[in-house]
Amino acid sequence: MSTMIGKGKVKLIEDATDGKIVAVKKSKVIDEGNLRQFIKEVVLLSQINHRNVVKLLGCCLETELPLLVYEFIPNGTLFQFLHDPNEEFPLTWEMRLRIAAEVAGALFYLHSAASIAIFHRDIKSTNILLDEKYRAKVADFGTSSQFTDKSDVYSFGVVLVELLTGQKAISFTRSEEQGRSLATYFLMTMESNCLFDILDPQVVKQGKKEDLLMVASLARSCLRLNGKERPTMKEVTIVFERIQKSENLVVQREIEYDRKEVMGAPWDATSTSTISSFGISASSSLDEKPLLHTY
């Protein structure tokens, strides 16, 4: 049997050792000169252990194309739930907020806690999977040093806008004046103080106005064209902690490492810059793709 997981088609195979279903996905063609680097990336990514990152279980190099073996995530992608909604199980504001916080935590982990910084390069709703408890699982990423953490921050901002509006990141149904890009349309709407005109009606009904404004402001900060002015994922996770507390949600820290060691000195949330004044130094260039990339 086969299904769509992240980008591309995968085969679902029952593991003969314990009966669990795993997802097997073909990698891109790897030439002999890049094989050593590919193996290094596989080893690095297989060591990632975070509840909101799809686990890479193994790799087979004895086939025409390398095969990557992942844990199987059963409930499809965030894109499917947002844009092909299930009336019997709609994504509530609480679920959207939790999913956003989980993805932010996973990216913070990848940027900060791994032996070397790992940048996803392609964060979008089709690469965010939902498990049996509808927890977010980030999938389909690599380790290219040509990308930066601020590249991921921008892409995360687009996902935030999708969660707020229920609209697709790229759409040809919007007018030319509105723009094909959801990010552009969102920023124009924020500029004209018409945010609530484009929010998903369910989000407006279920969320607190001040929290919706805070998430929208955070998304706008993530979408700044100058990468140096975007927040880090560390700062993004702190914002979500505040919002979750204000929503009286259970704050689940999924990061499976010593936070003090990663973050250094205790972070004083009361002294954090406001969302509208983030100014973090980093390059935002986007260059070649990493080797560990699948169809």
pLDDT at 10: 55
Q: Mapping DSSP to helix (H, G, I), strand (E, B) and coil, where does residue 118 land?
A: coil
Enumerate the domain spans of the chain. 10-71, 76-252
Position 2, amino acid: S
Architecture (CATH level 2) of domain 76-252: Orthogonal Bundle (1.10)
Is 122 assigned a catalytic role?
yes
Q: What is the pTM of this model?
A: 0.77
pLDDT at 142: 55
- E strand or H helix at 226: none
pLDDT at 261: 39
Half-sphere exposure of 278 (CA within 13 A, CB side): 28
| pLDDT means over runs of 10, the chain (295 residues) | 45 61 80 77 84 91 85 93 80 96 95 76 92 93 58 95 96 74 95 96 95 97 95 95 73 42 36 37 34 43
Q: Which of 137, 177, 145 is nearest to 52 (CA)?
A: 137
Homologous superfamily in CATH for domain 10-71: Phosphorylase Kinase; domain 1 (3.30.200.20)
| Choice among 84, 122, 131, 268 that is catalytic | 122
pLDDT at 82: 94
Q: Mapping DSSP to helix (H, G, I), strand (E, B) and coil, where does residue 153 land?
A: helix
